Amino acid sequence: MEIPFPKRIKLAHTPTPLQKLHRLSEDYKAELFVKRDDMTGMELTGNKVRKLEFILAEALEQGADTVITCGGIQSNHCRSTAAACSRLGLKCHLILRVENGIPAVPDGNFLLDRLFGASISFIPASEYWDQSKSDFPEIQQQLRSEGKKVYFVHVGGSSPTGTWGYIDGFEETRRQLEKMGIDRARFVTADGSGGTHSGLVMATLFHEKGRFEVYGVNIIFDQDYLKKSNVRVFNATAEKYQIPFHADESTFRFLDGYVGPGYGLSYPECMATIRQVAGREGLILDPVYTGKAFHALLSEIGKGAFPTDLPIIFVHTGGIFGIFPHREAFPF
């Protein structure tokens, strides 16, 4: 079946490398690869720019001049959206969730949000989640009343339009695997809002059943919540683009139990894995997404709970700027 890709704007530096992790493969008796989507360019936007290629094409097609999106104070997605909007000459308004007040000194992604010129609304965490359910209507209305033509991007870019980023990302990786003589593999990705995971799963369905499997690692919420989120994103994508697929909760696999104390909150085992991977492979992970996801993968392999009979592709979704606000947590 031909994949019906919608319109996009070229923003990412692709294809990104697919690299074998030789020393960790030897350590864990598994064939481990990393898809280096931390190298997509656009100021190190990681996986987000793949989604934004489709999302911002739609925004421009609808005549928008202002893009609104939301996330935590250190959101990779918000920073990536601000960067892409700056590149395209669009205004960007960010709605940032704050847990303990606005940082006195901008750091990490928040610093870059400022540099890219985004305007920002700060919402206390106690109010953020309720407002996010209806896409912050008061802020949208305020910007429209100022004469702005608004396009709202869901958290993480996890929307039917954004899903195409990882349908395309999967196809790119599959072609690289074919050149290596690999026609079956298991993919592992961090999952915060469902868009990357859903895109990868949908892409596998365009191919022979059983050739590819996808596992998410929930880095926020529990797996039951994220399964529901993935189902919504997947089925909304299929409906909007008239793709003859349907998902239910059994469609999505997770490595559960690695959220730790919460979103954006590190824990010693995760930080030790980040240090281990950097020391063994020269690969930098972040404490919010990729560090937890890779820690989950290595832990499950180590326990004998994750199958190693096929090559394992870890999707590195970026997030390097998120490491700096956690500098004090590293076990040096």
Query: Smallest Cα–Cα separation from 217: which of 254, 252, 242?
Result: 254
Question: Which of the 8 DSSP states describes residue 327?
Answer: G
| Cα–Cα distance for residue pair 290/219, rounded to 1 Å | 9
Positive or negative CA dihedral for 282, 285, 287, 291? negative
Tokens at residue 131, please? 């407002």
Q: What DSSP line would sit under 162-224, residue for residue? A: HHHHHHHHHHHHHHHHHHTT---EEEEEEESSSHHHHHHHHHHTTS-TTSEEEEEEESSS-HH
| Cα–Cα distance for residue pair 139/228, rounded to 1 Å | 27
Question: Which of the 8 DSSP states describes residue 9?
Answer: -
DSSP H helical ranges for 116-159? 125-132, 137-145
| Cα–Cα distance for residue pair 314/215, rounded to 1 Å | 10
Question: Alpha carbon 66 to chain centroid distance?
Answer: 22
Number of neighbouring beta carbons within 10 Å of residue 238: 19
- Tell me which residues are annotated as active site: 75
Residues 230 and 253: beta-carbon distance below 8 Å: no
3-state SS class at 257: coil
| Cα–Cα distance for residue pair 267/292, rounded to 1 Å | 9
Query: Smallest Cα–Cα separation from 97: which of 118, 69, 137, 66?
Result: 69
